[in-house]
């Protein structure tokens, strides 16, 4: 089976989706979602009327939602208007359907929680801790993960304050650091662990978390010392910081005879495994 393109079933109806390897997220057929939530005989026409009635929605879809090749009802592939999870939830908000209410209630709850976390950041920290506990992580792992996240936040704060502002620039620098200390890219590390859209850091071992933090701590301190600005200037500290963690990793591996980079993950085992 092609795992990049799949059908999922909701209330006995199918939703087409396509995995985007570049952005590492699922894109869903907007028409299929509209069909399920409205029971319209012509979901395409329904969506057109929605867009005509709601100018902001039309502008949002036109700006953010791509045409992605999926299998159509006649079995042939063609470009279909699609959206990722965030974009689909935005569209659901505009559908006047009782079936959409559970989604809207959930969105309102999440929105309220995020506002509360803005006022009191500790709530965000506690929520993350609770979620990791539900996933079966140990207290020791959670503490290390949170420590690593704090180190990461300080690094991205430095980048933001020194003319690194685009998400793709963050990704480039992050990958440089990662390749330097692990000898593989972020993408290759995720593939090693069998991950798709899951957060790599949530599936790191104790050692992987600690060495990632060492690489990012070293990168920030070197960048601060060099007063690096912008993407190009920050590439050098990223390489040097990653190399410091790489040297430490190799020394530990020599002493213990065990590899730090591992395929271990926290994914739920598949039925039959």
Is residue 112 packed enough to be buried (19+ CB in 10 Å), middle (13-18) or exposed (0-12)?
exposed
Q: Would you list the domain boundaries of the chain?
A: 5-97, 138-256
Residue at token pair 């006022």: 119
Whether 113 has a pLDDT exceeding 70, the answer reads no
In a 13 Å sphere around the CA of 164, the CA atoms on its Cβ side amount to 27
- Please state the φ and ψ torsions of residue 199, each to the nearest 5 degrees: -75, 120
Between 117 and 64, residue with greater pLDDT:
64
Per-residue pLDDT reduced to its tens digit, 261-270: 999 998 876 5
Whether 114 has a pLDDT exceeding 70, the answer reads no
Per-residue pLDDT reduced to its tens digit, 29-48: 999 889 888 878 899 999 99
3-state percent helix, strand, coil for the chain, nearest multiple of 5: 65, 10, 25
**Angle at 155 (CA atoms; ends 152, 159), nearest 5 degrees:** 135
Whether 129 has a pLDDT exceeding 90, the answer reads no
**Across 61-76, average pLDDT:** 84
- What is the pLDDT confidence band of residue 235, given thresholds at 50, 70 and 90? very high
Q: b or e along 56-65 (b: 16 or more beta carbons within 10 Å of the residue's beta carbon)?
A: ebbebbeeeb
pLDDT score recorded for residue 81:
93
Pairwise CA distance, residues 221 & 114, whole Å = 31
């Amino acid at each position: 089976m092609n795992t990049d393109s799949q059908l999922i079933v909701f209330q006995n109806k199918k939703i087409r989706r396509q995995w985007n390897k570049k952005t590492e997220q699922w894109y869903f057929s907007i028409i299929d979602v509209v069909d399920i939530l409205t029971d319209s005989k012509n979901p395409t026409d329904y969506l057109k009327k929605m867009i005509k009635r709601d100018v902001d929605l039309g502008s949002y879809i036109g700006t953010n939602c791509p045409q992605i090749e999926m299998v159509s009802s006649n079995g042939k592939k063609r470009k279909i208007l699609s959206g990722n999870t965030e974009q689909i939830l935005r569209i659901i908000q505009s559908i006047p359907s009782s079936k959409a209410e559970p989604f809207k209630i959930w969105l309102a709850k999440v929105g309220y929680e995020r506002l509360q976390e803005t006022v009191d950041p500790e709530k965000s920290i506690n929520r993350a801790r609770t979620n990791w506990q539900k996933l079966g992580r140990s207290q020791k792992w959670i503490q290390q993960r949170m420590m690593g996240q704090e180190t990461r936040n300080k690094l991205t704060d430095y980048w933001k304050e020194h003319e690194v502002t685009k998400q793709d620039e963050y990704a480039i620098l992050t990958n440089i650091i990662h390749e330097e200390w692990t000898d593989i890219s972020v993408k290759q590390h995720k593939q090693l662990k069998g991950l798709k859209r899951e957060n790599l850091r949530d599936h790191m071992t104790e050692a992987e978390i600690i060495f990632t933090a060492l690489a990012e701590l070293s990168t920030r301190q070197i960048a601060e010392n060099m007063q690096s600005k912008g993407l190009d200037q920050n590439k050098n500290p990223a390489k040097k910081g990653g190399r410091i963690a790489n040297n430490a990793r190799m020394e530990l591996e020599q002493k213990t005879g065990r590899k730090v980079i591992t395929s271990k993950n926290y994914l739920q085992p598949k039925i039959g495994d």
